[in-house]
């Protein structure tokens, strides 16, 4: 049937096949996906504290103490954080070129890049060595406690940036009806990370010990899981793009489902 006969019969007409995607952009998509997933893995290097003889109490210590100046095996955690930042920054630059749907998506990638830069600075500017150990908490931290040590400032910037990225990515996924992994698993991880962050912010201003070390480990673990989820979603998108290119612009075996929802592909 011709396109005119299709319209008279009331059936959907497929868009004309698009030209196969160039290899360069396809490779870049896979590189971005792998970089984000690896950043999530590297950012979870703190779990090595349960294997290495570090001697910190995970209930009362903060993760910044793992790579403080003079700390044994501190280079392991600082190297992992540096790799996290480099991978996140690379992924952000590549993502801006490949996945710029609108202002929300651009803001998300920029925030991820800021997270990468802040994490690199965080690793290169560790906490000062404290005597006695662990570092005592000051009685009065003042209005801007982040200014007492540069590491505290970079840590705050890193966490703030990744939360902006998580929220912006989730909002973009819902608004543009794309990336189901972020709309489902990613959303629940974001809710968990937000709840634990609220726990930390409230407990830090109350007298007594409320397991802030555990809260921070859950927070960072949630961020790592979210980065891995984003990497998985990008990998799924890259694979669909490869299948679409291999079949002349149409995903194979989708039939009527493709005709109804082709605008959301990939």
For residue range 118-166, list pLDDT tens digits in order. 999 999 988 775 544 545 454 444 434 444 578 888 999 999 999 999 9
- For 100-104, the CB contacts below 8 A with 24+ separation are 101/172, 101/176, 101/178, 102/172, 102/175, 102/176, 104/168, 104/171, 104/172, 104/175, 104/176
Q: What is the mean pLDDT of the chain?
A: 80
158 or 70: whose pLDDT is higher?
158
Cα-to-chain-centroid distance, residue 140: 33
Q: What would the two tokens of residue 55 be? A: 């001697």
Helix 150-175 × helix 103-124 angle, to 10°:
160
pTM for the model stands at: 0.79
Q: What is the pLDDT of residues 187-235, one digit of tens each?
A: 999 999 999 999 888 887 777 677 888 999 999 999 999 999 999 999 9
Q: DSSP assignment, residue 146?
A: G
- What pLDDT score does 256 carry? 39
Pick from 89, 68, 86: nearest CA to 77: 68
Maximum separation of any 2 CA atoms in the chain, in Å = 84
Residue 230 near residue 182, CB atoms below 8 Å? yes
């Amino acid at each position: 049937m011709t396109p005119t006969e299709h319209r008279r019969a009331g059936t959907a007409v497929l868009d004309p096949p698009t030209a196969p995607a160039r290899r360069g952009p396809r490779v870049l998509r896979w590189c971005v996906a792998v970089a984000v997933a690896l950043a999530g893995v590297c950012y979870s290097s703190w779990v090595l504290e349960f294997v290495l003889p570090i001697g910190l109490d995970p209930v009362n210590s903060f993760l910044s103490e793992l790579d403080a100046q003079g700390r044994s095996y501190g280079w392991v955690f600082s190297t992992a954080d540096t790799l996290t930042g480099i991978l996140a920054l690379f992924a952000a630059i590549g993502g801006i070129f490949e996945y710029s749907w609108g202002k929300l998506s651009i803001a998300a990638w920029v925030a991820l890049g800021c997270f990468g830069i802040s994490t690199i600075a965080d690793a290169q500017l560790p906490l000062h060595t404290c005597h006695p150990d662990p570092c005592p908490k000051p009685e009065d931290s003042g209005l801007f406690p982040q200014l007492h040590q540069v590491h505290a400032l970079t840590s705050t910037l890193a966490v703030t940036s990744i939360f902006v990225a998580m929220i912006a990515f989730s909002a973009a996924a819902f608004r543009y009806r794309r990336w189901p992994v972020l709309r489902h698993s990613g959303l629940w991880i974001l809710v968990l990370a937000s709840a634990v962050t609220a726990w930390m912010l409230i407990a830090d201003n109350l007298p007594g010990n409320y397991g802030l070390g555990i809260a921070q480990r859950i927070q960072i673990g949630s961020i790592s899981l979210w980065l891995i989820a984003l990497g998985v979603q990008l990998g799924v998108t890259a694979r669909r793009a490869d299948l679409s290119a291999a079949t002349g612009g149409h995903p194979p075996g989708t039939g009527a489902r493709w005709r109804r929802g082709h605008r959301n592909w990939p």
